[in-house]
Amino acid sequence: MTVTLETRRTVPEVETRVRRSISERLAPYAYIAPFFLLFAVFGLVPLLFTFYVALFDWNPIGEHVFIGFDNFTRLLGDARFWNAAWNTISIWLLSTVPQLLLALCVAHLLNHARLRLAVFLRMSMLVPYITSVAATAIVFAQMFDRDYGLLNWLLGLFGVEPINFLQSVWGSHLMIAVMVTWRWFGYTTLLYLASLQAIPRSLYEAAAVDGAGSWKQFRHIALPSLRPVIVFTVVTSTIGGLQIFTEPLLVSRAAPLTCGPVRQCQTLTLFLYEQGFGQFQFGYGAAIGVALFVLIVAIATLNYVLSTRIRKERG
């Protein structure tokens, strides 16, 4: 298909194209220029400036002393950094994997041909997404509370001792993961649903005639056509998941910058914020930012490699 398009366009227009002026050739660049200029000002320059600041002992209202790579060597030996990195990865896995699986199932259900109130049900998936994160965090923190939380009250009915979610490592991670999942799974569901609806009904009908059940239809028709959008959601939720900030900041009102007394749910972005804006160590904070950048680039590359492999398998 692409070949025919190409030939049709090139052959008759060769001469006119040459004659057209330079300004026309530059036009496309002008059209995309606003984005790239804004990106340069608000994206690239701050990024490069972060690398620069990371080489200093930088007090925002005091002295800036060049210290080379000292911030990075300090970072590698800092137990708080590794703790935050581990917390970030743990919360990311706990929130992303169930979220994507859940979204896949719900999208499949919402795609059912004879679903009643389809529009209402589909639109209501977006409600968590448009709710303010702060409100979400406060409500969930109350639900998971040790003494007066809804969850512990329910568990108490079955004779379970109250669980101190916030103060334990796995409990606080679970709590934040639930918040992230709740907030994002509706959005992911709609993405999946959109792809599912692009699949012609006739494929399902043909499969049904051949005797394929609901599960087999899902496995052999829906899942393969969802591959690109699954790759997309994995990439975006990875980037988002590694930058989780608001939820851990708000669940622990007593020690917000560390997410609890032993930094049990402090993520990398929260650690960055604590060092940069709590302690005024902009240089060290910038170094954490650079480390986070490297981590995200590494995981995104891994994603890219995996997704191209999947695409090749398809092709």
Partner 1 sequence: MKLRIATPVVLATAVALTLSACGGGGGSGPSQPAGNSKSFEFWSFTGIDQKVSVEDYQKKNPGVQIKLTEVGSSVETAQALTTALAGGKVPDLVLIQGDDLPKFVQQSQNFHDLRPLGADKIKGDYLDWVMSQSTAKGGEIIGIPTDVGGMAVAYRTDLFKEAGLPTDREEVGKLWPTWDAFIETGKKYTAATGKAFVDNAATSVFYQAVNQGPQKYYDPSGNVVYSTSPQVKTAFDLAIKAAQAGITAKQSSFSEGWSAGMAKGQFAVIAAPSWMLGGIRRNAPDTEGKWDVATIPGGAGNWGGSYLAIPKGAANPKAAWDYITKTQSPQAQLEHFAKSGSLPTTPSVYKDPKLTGLKDPFFSDAPTGTIYTNSLLGLKPFFIGPDSSTIGQEFQNAITNVEQGKGDAAKAWDAAVANIKTAIGK
According to CB under 8 A, which one of 47, 50, 168, 231 is a site residue for partner 1? 168
Nearest Cα neighbor of 248 from 236, 239, 260, 237 is: 260
Give yes or no for residue 138 binding partner 1 (CB under 8 A): yes
- Please report whether residue 280 would count as binding partner 1 according to CB under 8 A: yes
Q: How far is the CB of 99 from partner 1 (least distance, A)?
A: 25
- 241-270 positions binding partner 1, by CB under 8 A: 252-255, 258, 261-262
Choice between 53 and 229, CB closer to partner 1: 53
Residue 167 CB partners (closer than 8 Å, separation 6+): 146, 260, 261, 264
CB of 295 to partner 1, least distance (A): 21
Binders in 57-96 for partner 1, by CB under 8 A? 59-62, 78-80
Instruction: Report the residue from 7, 8, 13, 42 that binds partner 1 according to the rule CB under 8 A.
Output: 42
Whole-number Å distance between alpha carbons of 281 and 270 = 14
- Residue count of the chain: 315
- Which of 167, 225, 236, 303 lies at the binding interface for partner 1 (CB under 8 A)? 167
CA proximity to 270, closest of 112, 27, 81: 81
Can you give the binding site for partner 1, defined by CB under 8 A? Answer: 21, 23-24, 26-27, 30-31, 33-34, 37-38, 40-42, 59-62, 78-80, 138, 141-142, 145-148, 164, 167-168, 252-255, 258, 261-262, 277, 279-280
